[in-house]
């Protein structure tokens, strides 16, 4: 009898284990799936039980030790979203160290250090994650899983997933030199992997001179590291499509237009979607007049050949630093009762373009509208810009003196005077010699945190910055004199724009004193938004986070916060997001926008969360390491939450 009961118990355990394993849900790519929907099809955690979420485990990367003997901490940002395959989490730190962590316990399995020299002058010190091969679109047996990391010092490294050791027959002893033939580039986003092909862009600080490196996108064989093809977003030959959209004696020196954000892929259609950025330099285009194709565009390339299939330009002749910073999100929407393959493009301008994935044709109307023109000698603004009719633009689009804000009447007076002194004609007001308000700013609108899409509720979720930039161009020969007359110009960020007649000064509509940052425009300064992508209509918008102590300013919880990092949606009807300056990790009801849960992180949460299910249990994971440029508390935490 005892033996029979024992056998029955063993059978039951085996059945439960098998059931749990069958219900495991991985997170195999940065955006959850190759198309970057950032949606977990897991419904264990719901609006009814989310308040029961607690920390399951915490992992420490040890990253802060790498900032002791250098100034890297001033720029470092822990923006990584881990991936999870076969029961293991893989992630990268700002210094590009890679860790493998047991997904159930948080125990470290291995660690790899590429020994990046943090004393170099990198524009950004961050790594948003790693990638893995083979993917679900590869039917290949008896292969060892690999992890790929691209580094800020321009290397592509392949590691064995089981050990963290470099793959000896990939490139040269596991490494491909991405700077070879291109120049001093960095990479801050994980490579895209489609079939046996790795596609990768680059990052560069592109506002210091005109002759930056080419923003070339390249594809490599995932097994050998052999270069398969490359594509330059700036046409370099007279017979190349788009060449006539670049005018000027120095136009051949123009660089950048690079894809520094995350790429998306569609294995079924053999397409890779490239979000390109502003040509160099960012704020003066007099040396590169014209429309400037294929900068500031979403470009669909044939993944097997690098051939351009279609493009959609989101900004013509960019002089506002309006890079396409968000990962294109591949989704299926309903039009006239039929499913349509689509790609959603969220932009810094607060515009969302919904395009047919196979053709690039807009699925909601887009209008070319006249925009303000430049009065800067030598500049030639493009006469129109594309505006989506639906969804309506998000974020702050125009500011008047009526929008001046501050804690005191003196604060408000100073804000009104500053706003009145600037050129201010709404979206796409060009940089000027007097100073221009750029709204939304180069930080968004929608920033690199991107968008998430819940296919059950057909809701697109994104977090918005409502911050205004102040841009002034100064004739190069007058810079010293202008700085001597205006101390605030010395404190402002400087873009030297060598090769042009002007130096750029960038500031924002806030002041800093002993009280800290004092915003000069009306709140909210950060929001979380839901849009119905079948209709294009706004479903809800709520403040995200706070920037001032609610004990001192009780209304601060309604004022929102500047934010960096994206949102995650789940089948359980929840939206998880950190990103704000207050250091909280939050859960909202996806359908209504109601805040349901929050937990204080031990460091800034400027990263995008992810979720997986393992052994029948759902986990939600966030990197909490802070952001040097935002001055949020630095740390080295990876934190997993689950139900009690």
Digit-coded pLDDT (tens) for 567-588: 999 999 999 999 999 999 999 9
Answer yes or no: is pLDDT of 124 > 80: yes
Mean pLDDT of 426-432: 97
Does residue 18 lie in a domain region?
no
pLDDT greater than 90 at residue 42: yes
Q: Is 96 left (phi over 0), alpha (psi -120 to 50) or beta?
A: left
pTM, two decimals, is: 0.95
Residue 1 pLDDT class (50, 70, 90 cuts): low
For 129-158, write each residue's pLDDT tens digit.
999 999 878 867 678 999 999 999 999 999
Average pLDDT over residues 10-29: 66
State which residues form the domain around 552. Answer: 24-643
Contact of 630 with 448, CB cutoff 8 Å: no
Contact 545, 505 (CB under 8 A): no
pLDDT at 13 over 50: no
Q: Residue 321: inside a domain, yes or no?
A: yes
Identify the band that residue 635 occupies on the pLDDT scale cut at 50, 70 and 90. very high
Residue 35 in this model has a pLDDT that exceeds 60 = yes
The strand ranges marked E within 372-425 are 384-388
Would you say residue 397 lies in a domain? yes
Residue 4: band (very low, low, confident or very high) from pLDDT cuts 50, 70, 90: low
Q: Provide the pLDDT for residue 15.
A: 47
Residue 7 lies in a domain: no
The answer as to whether 406 is a domain residue is yes
Beta bridge partners of 203: 186
Active site residues: 321
Do the domain assignments include residue 491? yes
Q: List pLDDT tens digits, range 604-619.
A: 999 999 999 999 999 9
Mean pLDDT of 370-397: 98
Give the span between the Cα atoms of 375 and 265, in whole angstroms. Answer: 41
Cβ-based neighbour number of residue 190 at 10 Å: 26
Region 361-378 average pLDDT: 98
In a domain, 6, yes or no: no
- Nearest residue to 584 via CA among 613, 612, 614, 556: 556
C-alpha distances in Å from residue 44, one per residue of 19, 40, 278, 426: 15, 11, 42, 45
Do 578 and 562 form a contact (C-beta atoms < 8 A)?
no
What is the pLDDT averaged over residues 342-350?
98
Sign of CA dihedral 286, 289, 292, 296: positive
pLDDT for 232 beyond 70: yes
Q: Decide if pLDDT at 7 tops 60.
A: no
Tell me the per-residue pLDDT of 59-81, one tens digit each, with 9 for 90 and over: 999 999 998 878 888 999 999 99
Q: What is the mean pLDDT of residues 506-513?
A: 94
Could you give the number of structural domains in the chain?
A: 1
**Domain-embedded: residue 468:** yes
pLDDT reported for residue 258: 97
464 pLDDT band, cuts 50/70/90, is very high
- Residue 486: per-residue pLDDT: 84
Residue 295 has pLDDT above 80, yes or no: yes
Output the domain CATH number for residue 432.
Answer: 2.140.10.10
């Amino acid at each position: 009898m005892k033996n029979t009961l024992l056998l029955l118990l063993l059978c039951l355990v085996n059945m439960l284990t098998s059931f749990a394993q069958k219900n495991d849900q991985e997170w195999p790519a940065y955006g959850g799936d190759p198309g970057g929907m950032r949606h977990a099809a897991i419904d264990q955690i719901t609006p009814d039980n989310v308040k029961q979420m607690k920390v399951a485990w915490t992992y420490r990367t040890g990253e802060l030790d790498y900032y002791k003997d250098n100034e890297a901490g001033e720029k470092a940002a822990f923006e990584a979203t881990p991936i999870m395959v076969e029961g293991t989490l893989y992630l990268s730190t700002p210094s590009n160290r890679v860790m493998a962590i047991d997904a159930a316990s948080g125990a470290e399995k291995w660690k790899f250090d590429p020994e990046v020299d943090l004393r170099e002058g990198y524009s950004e010190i961050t790594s948003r994650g790693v990638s893995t091969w083979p993917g679900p679109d590869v039917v290949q047996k008896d292969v060892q899983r690999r992890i790929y990391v691209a580094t800020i010092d321009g290397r592509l490294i392949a590691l064995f997933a089981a050990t963290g050791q470099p793959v000896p027959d990939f490139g040269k002893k596991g490494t491909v030199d991405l700077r070879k033939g291109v120049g001093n580039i960095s990479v801050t986003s994980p490579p895209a992997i489609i079939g046996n092909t790795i596609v990768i862009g680059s990052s560069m600080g592109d506002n210091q001179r005109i002759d930056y490196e080419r923003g070339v996108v390249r594809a490599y064989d995932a097994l050998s590291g052999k270069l398969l093809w490359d594509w330059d977003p700036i046409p370099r030959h007279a017979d190349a499509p788009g060449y006539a959209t670049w005018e000027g004696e120095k136009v051949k020196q123009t660089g950048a237009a690079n894809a520094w954000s995350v790429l998306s892929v569609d294995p079924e259609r053999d397409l890779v979607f490239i979000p390109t950025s502003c040509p160099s330099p960012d704020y003066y285009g007099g040396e590169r007049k014209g429309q400037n194709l294929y900068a500031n565009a979403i470009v669909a390339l044939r993944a097997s050949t690098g051939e351009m299939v279609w493009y959609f330009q989101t900004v013509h002749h960019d002089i506002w630093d309006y890079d396409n910073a968000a990962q294109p999100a591949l989704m299926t929407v309903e039009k006239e009762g039929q499913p349509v393959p689509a790609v959603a493009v969220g932009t810094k301008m607060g515009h969302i373009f919904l395009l047919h994935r196979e053709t690039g044709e807009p699925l909601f109307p887009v209008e070319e509208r006249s925009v303000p023109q430049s009065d800067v000698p030598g500049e030639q603004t493009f006469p129109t810009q594309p505006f989506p009719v639906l969804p309506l633009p998000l974020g702050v689009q125009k500011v008047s003196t009526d929008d001046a804000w501050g804690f005191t009447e003196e604060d408000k007076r100073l804000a009104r005077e500053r706003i009145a002194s600037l050129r201010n004609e709404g979206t796409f007001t060009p940089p000027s010699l007097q100073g221009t308000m750029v709204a939304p700013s180069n930080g968004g609108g929608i920033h690199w945190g991107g968008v998430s899409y819940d296919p059950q509720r057909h809701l697109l979720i994104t977090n918005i910055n409502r911050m205004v930039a102040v841009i002034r161009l100064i004739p190069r020969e007058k810079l010293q004199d202008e700085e001597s007359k205006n101390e605030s110009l010395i404190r402002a960020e400087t873009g030297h724009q060598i090769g042009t007649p002007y130096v750029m000064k960038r500031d924002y509509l806030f002041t800093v004193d002993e009280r800290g940052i004092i915003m000069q425009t009306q709140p909210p300064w950060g929001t979380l938004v839901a849009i119905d992508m079948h209709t294009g209509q706004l479903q809800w918008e709520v403040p995200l986070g706070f920037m001032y102590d609610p004990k001192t300013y009780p209304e601060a919880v309604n004022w929102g916060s500047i934010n960096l990092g994206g949102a995650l949606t789940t089948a359980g009807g929840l939206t998880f997001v950190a990103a704000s300056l207050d250091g909280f990790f939050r859960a909202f009801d996806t359908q209504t926008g109601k805040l349901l849960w929050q937990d204080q992180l031990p460091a800034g949460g400027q990263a995008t969360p992810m979720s997986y299910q393992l052994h029948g249990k759902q986990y939600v994971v966030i990197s909490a390491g802070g952001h040097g440029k935002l001055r949020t508390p630095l740390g080295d935490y990876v934190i997993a939450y689950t139900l009690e």
